């Protein structure tokens, strides 16, 4: 067994459940997070993601289940004995302390030598690009700068785990995008295991090694950003992560093909599906390509892209009749009505086969 494989999970959750009165916030959550991994808990408001983070932090007590950190059961331990740093949405800086004192506060409470605290403060302020603001107070800083100070304070004691509770949601769009990259780069540089709660799909896709998609207190899917986006395991994940069109169809005679009226489309499912089985095809807007006209040879079918997949050629009017009512997305700035009008113009010119 390799040394990597022998290392215990940075965080392991087993059967975590939580109720608030009659409301069930979490249902049997089991999850393992590897050392050095950046994981995002993603979901809509009320899905349980913040409650799960607070249980990991020891700020909420679960009704059932076990919380392990580095192979150690911390389920009943207070927050002070769990060795993590946390950054909140609201910054939570001490307004009466300078930037330096805010960053070094956790070290002071641990009775670390003053010279060591000063070195650590200087190191972290340089790391977040705020060394020149050492003697300022929080009120003299912008929102983005305050959040950088909160991040430096959380990292000061060199925690084994960094918890981020929607740290960017209070910032404007430009600062949020900049801090996104800074936090990710800092996490990679330090190698600290990080869990971030967010409801922002773009944020999760851009920052995480893995995304945990949650809904109504359960985990819908866990996977790398590309996997979650390209291979959603439920309609909820498909709708919540990015934009998705849904088309009702039936399984065709050929494996990997579905029929939409009189039109056949290739799909990604690899498991055998009995012909005639009712299916729902999920198609991302960017998988629909409007391309150049292709002149067909009489009596032959021409290849084209149907919703991003290579298929057989069909008269576009036939395809349009089958899917126009099912799909209402805007493609490349054109509504389907405008697209249909352009198709009609091209058909009038005697061109009946097209790339779609």
Domain presence at residue 267:
yes
The pLDDT tens digits for 269-316 are 767 888 889 988 888 888 776 655 444 333 333 332 233 333 333 444
Q: Is 81 helix (H, G, I), strand (E, B) or coil?
A: helix
Provide the pLDDT for residue 4: 54
Provide the pLDDT for residue 297: 39
pLDDT class of 15 with cuts at 50, 70, 90: very high
Out of 69-78, 100-109, 182-191, 345-354, pick the least confident.
345-354
| Number of compact structural domains in the chain | 1
What mean pLDDT comes out for the span 100-127? 94
129's CB contacts (< 8 A; 6+ apart) are 148
Domain presence at residue 62:
no
Domain presence at residue 277:
yes
Domain presence at residue 132:
no
Domain presence at residue 204:
no
CA angle 314, 315, 321 (to 5 degrees): 105
Q: Quick one: CA torsion of 184, 186, 191, 194, rounded to 10 degrees?
A: -50
Note the pTM of the prediction, 2 decimals: 0.78
The pLDDT tens digits for 147-178 are 999 999 999 999 999 999 999 888 888 888 88
Provide the pLDDT for residue 282: 85
The pLDDT tens digits for 33-91 are 999 999 999 999 999 999 999 999 999 999 999 999 999 999 999 999 999 999 998 88
Domain containing 259 equals 245-348
Domain presence at residue 91:
no
More confident residue, 344 or 148: 148
The pLDDT tens digits for 179-230 are 999 999 999 999 999 999 999 999 999 999 999 999 999 999 999 999 999 8
13's CB contacts (< 8 A; 6+ apart) are 29, 30, 31, 32, 52, 56, 65, 66, 67, 68
Q: 326 near 247, Cβ under 8 Å? A: yes
Domain presence at residue 259:
yes
Domain presence at residue 175:
no
């Amino acid at each position: 067994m390799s040394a990597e494989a022998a290392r215990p999970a940075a965080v392991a959750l087993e059967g975590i459940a939580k109720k608030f009165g009659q409301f069930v916030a979490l249902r049997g959550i089991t999850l393992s997070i590897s050392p050095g991994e950046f994981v995002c808990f993603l979901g809509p408001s009320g899905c349980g993601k913040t409650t799960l983070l607070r249980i990991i932090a020891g700020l909420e007590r679960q009704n059932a289940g076990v919380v392990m950190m580095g192979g150690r059961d911390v389920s009943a331990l207070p927050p002070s004995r769990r060795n993590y740093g946390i950054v909140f949405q609201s910054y939570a800086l001490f307004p009466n302390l300078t930037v330096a004192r805010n960053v070094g506060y956790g070290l002071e409470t641990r009775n670390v030598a003053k010279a060591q605290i000063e070195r650590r403060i200087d190191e972290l302020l340089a790391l977040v690009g705020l060394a020149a603001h050492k003697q300022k107070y929080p009120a003299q800083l912008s929102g983005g700068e305050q959040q950088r100070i909160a991040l430096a304070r959380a990292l000061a004691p060199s925690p084994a785990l960094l918890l981020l509770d929607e740290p960017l949601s209070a910032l404007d769009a430009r600062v949020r995008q900049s801090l996104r990259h800074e936090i990710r780069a800092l996490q990679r540089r330090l190698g600290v295991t990080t869990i971030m709660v967010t409801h922002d799909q773009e944020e999760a896709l851009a920052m995480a090694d893995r995304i945990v998609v949650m809904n109504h207190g359960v985990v819908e899917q866990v996977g790398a950003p590309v996997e979650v986006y390209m291979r959603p395991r439920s309609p909820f994940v498909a709708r919540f992560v990015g934009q998705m069109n849904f088309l009702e169809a039936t399984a065709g005679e050929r494996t990997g093909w579905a029929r939409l009226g009189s039109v056949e489309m290739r799909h990604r499912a690899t498991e055998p599906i009995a012909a005639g089985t009712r299916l729902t095809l999920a198609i991302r807007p960017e998988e629909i390509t409007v391309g150049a006209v292709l002149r067909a040879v009489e009596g032959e079918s021409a290849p084209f892209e149907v919703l991003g997949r290579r298929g057989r050629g069909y008269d576009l009017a036939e395809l349009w009749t089958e899917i126009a009512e099912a799909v209402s997305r805007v493609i490349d700035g054109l509504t389907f009505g405008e697209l249909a009008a352009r198709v009609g113009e091209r058909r009038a010119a005697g061109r009946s086969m097209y790339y779609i």
